[in-house]
């Protein structure tokens, strides 16, 4: 496993396991399988409604808590200082742990300034080892980062071969903030799994399209959290540290970048209405 050092000195695995859209019923089994496959970083969120499953798995897995890296996120309905503060304690209860390793604001809506104040307080109290944000476009990220003592260590955003976040990476570098990819496989959109460029490159190394896509992001220093409910896919996604893409490979994959989201825009009022009504 390779690690990245966050801007507060905490080390985080560059590859983790994400549980977005893993049902509460399946979550404990999936996280247990992922840990057994070698994963030590698990990414969940209040809005995924499966924190309890993650907590049960990490409590029963036999791996010491200090060897695991657990991330969760505060949802919009819990935004604001008081609500966020209460929800952080509730997440810790559900996760069956005294602390998380990384705590993020899930979306840049609601009173996210108040949320970040509660997160700073949790950080200083030892309830989380690091804090950051998710889905913050450059404008809102800069606005937040400039007004707080504790700079976000991570910005988790849609990042994959079709949306490589080149401009965002430049801005995050100014703040020492790591980009963390959600949707590293673009959720199969744009015929991802049959992409000719990725397939041709993969054939050279005996690797799958998914493995090439993960390796591309990892070599750019981007944290990845692929999700699968199948043990064999978890193992395949984990097996990306025994080969290295050449400069020519990286350039070819770079040409796949469309520079825009395949999912939604936070500049779209209907998207904002949809998101802020989840969990109300």
Q: Which residues are catalytic?
A: 48
The DSSP secondary-structure symbol of 194 reads G
**How far is residue 230 from each of residues 68, 193, 278, measured CA to CA in Å?**
21, 16, 28
Q: What 3-state DSSP class applies to 63?
A: coil
Q: Which of 70, 84, 217 is nearest to 129 (CA)?
A: 70
Is-contact 95 60, C-beta < 8 A?
no
Please name the residue that has the structure tokens 């404008």. 139
């Amino acid at each position: 496993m390779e690690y990245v050092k966050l801007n507060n000195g905490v080390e985080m695995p560059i590859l983790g396991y994400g549980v977005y859209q893993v049902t509460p019923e399946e979550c404990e089994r999936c996280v247990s399988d992922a840990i057994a496959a070698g994963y030590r970083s698990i990414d969940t969120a209040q809005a995924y409604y499966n924190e309890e499953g993650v907590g049960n798995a990490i409590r029963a897995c036999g791996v010491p808590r200090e060897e695991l890296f657990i991330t969760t996120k505060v949802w919009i309905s819990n935004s604001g200082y008081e609500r966020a503060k209460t929800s952080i304690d509730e997440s810790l209860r559900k996760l069956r742990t005294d602390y998380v390793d990384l705590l993020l604001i899930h979306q840049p809506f609601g009173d996210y300034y108040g949320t970040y104040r509660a997160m700073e307080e949790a950080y200083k109290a030892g309830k989380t080892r690091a804090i950051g944000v998710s889905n913050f476009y450059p404008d809102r990220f800069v606005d937040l980062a400039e007004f707080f003592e504790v700079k976000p260590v991570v910005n988790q955003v849609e990042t994959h071969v079709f949306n490589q976040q080149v401009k965002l990476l430049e801005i995050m570098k100014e703040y020492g903030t790591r980009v963390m990819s959600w949707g590293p496989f673009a959720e199969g959109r744009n015929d991802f799994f049959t992409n000719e460029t990725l397939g041709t490159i993969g054939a050279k190394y005996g690797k799958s399209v998914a493995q090439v896509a993960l390796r591309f992001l990892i070599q750019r220093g981007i944290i990845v959290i692929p999700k699968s409910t199948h043990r064999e896919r978890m193992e395949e996604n984990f097996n990306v540290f025994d080969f290295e893409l050449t400069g020519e490979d990286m350039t070819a994959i770079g040409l796949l970048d469309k520079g825009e989201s395949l999912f939604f825009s936070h500049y779209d009022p209907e998207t904002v209405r949809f998101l802020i009504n989840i969990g109300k």
